Amino acid sequence: MGVDGGLADPKGRAELATEKYTDSSRKKKRRQKKPASTPSAVQRLFETCKEVFAHGGRGFIPSADDVERLRSVVGRVDVGYAYCSLQDLVHIGIFCLPQAAVIPLHNHPGMTVVSKLLFGSMHIKSYDWVNDPEGSNEKIKSSNGTCLAKVNTDAIFKAPCETSVLYPTTGGNMHCFTAVTSCAVLDVLGPPYNDDEGRACTYYKEYAFSSFPGKAIGVSGESKEYAWLEERESKPDDLVVRGAEYRGPKIVGR
């Protein structure tokens, strides 16, 4: 009776055993559950926003620790996401601006906003209202109804740069963006704009401090640090914002 040479050879038996072990290993690996994938940056941002703004509302200001935690998470988000919202608690969006495009001076009533410049260069000018120095907590107004504001920021930023935070009354609540180059900025707004809840977006015209002399007695600092702001009746006619559907990684729990 003949014997197959491959089976009679010890080396052949070893090769066969190896093949069987390899096949068994492959099947076992296929049966094993895949390890959970690391949450995407936008998923982490979404979950952090849910926690930070869980009890938010008009004028709600997160704790310093929560702001720092959110700032850190925003700082790790890369470009490539569009816009999504978490019910009425917070909105997350990216504004993409071609070179020389402008988002006019506008406010964020009762809101905390965390922003990160994702790429490109942008000029940012921001203001906060100046209250009556006599302690009435009222805005300083001119004879024609314009209100006095103090410059918070007036500079060009280039990505990568520090993530910024503005608050209901500080940090440059009213700001204007001008694209020095094509650029994109990520904004996290909590709570978001809502006309019915008194958080309508208001746009402003700027006038030099010297336009209404003598109306701000007692204000300290140089005149270039201040400006008079007048509310516009409506959004500027030349402002066009086109929305885009969110197409990034799936957000669990949205």
What CATH code is carried by the domain that includes residue 89? 2.60.120.10
Residue 252 lies in a domain: no
Model pLDDT, residue 2? 37
Asked if pLDDT for residue 125 goes beyond 70, the answer is: yes
- CB atoms under 10 Å from CB of 15, counted, come to 12
Task: Please give the full DSSP string across 27-61, using - where no structure is assigned.
Answer: HHHHHSPPPPPPPPHHHHHHHHHHHHTTT--TT--
Q: Per-residue pLDDT tens for 12-68?
A: 444 434 444 455 555 555 555 544 445 677 777 778 777 877 776 666 777 888 888
**∠ CA 183-189-194, rounded to 5°:** 120
Strand 121-129 to strand 112-119: parallel, antiparallel, or no bridges (unpaired)? Answer: unpaired
> Does 108 reside within a domain?
yes
- Number of structural domains found in the chain: 1
The pLDDT confidence band at residue 106, using thresholds 50, 70 and 90, is very high
Length of the chain: 254
Burial of 221 (0-12, 13-18, 19+ CB in 10 A): exposed
In a domain? residue 71: yes
Any domain includes 76: yes
Whole-number Å distance between alpha carbons of 191 and 64: 17
Domain that holds residue 177: 41-231
Between 47 and 184, name the one with better pLDDT.
184
3-state secondary structure of 142: coil
Q: Domain for residue 6, yes or no? A: no
Whether 142 is in a domain gets the answer yes
Residue 31 lies in a domain: no
Q: What percent of the chain has pLDDT over 70?
A: 71
pTM (whole model) above 0.85: no
Mean residue pLDDT across the chain: 78
215 against 60, higher pLDDT: 60
Beta strand 121-129 with 90-97 is: unpaired
Are 203 and 236 in contact by the 8 Å Cβ rule? The answer is yes
pLDDT at 209 over 90: no
Query: Measured between alpha carbons, how far is 74 from 186 in angstroms, rounded to an integer?
Result: 8
Q: Is the pLDDT of residue 147 over 60?
A: yes
Residue 240 has pLDDT above 50, yes or no: yes
More confident residue, 139 or 179: 179
28 within a domain of the structure (yes/no): no
Task: Write out pLDDT tens, residues 45-61.
Answer: 778 777 877 776 666 77
Instruction: Confirm if 74 and 205 have CB atoms less than 8 A apart.
Output: no
Query: Percent of the chain having pLDDT more than 90?
Result: 38
* pLDDT band at residue 7 using 50, 70 and 90 as cut-offs: very low
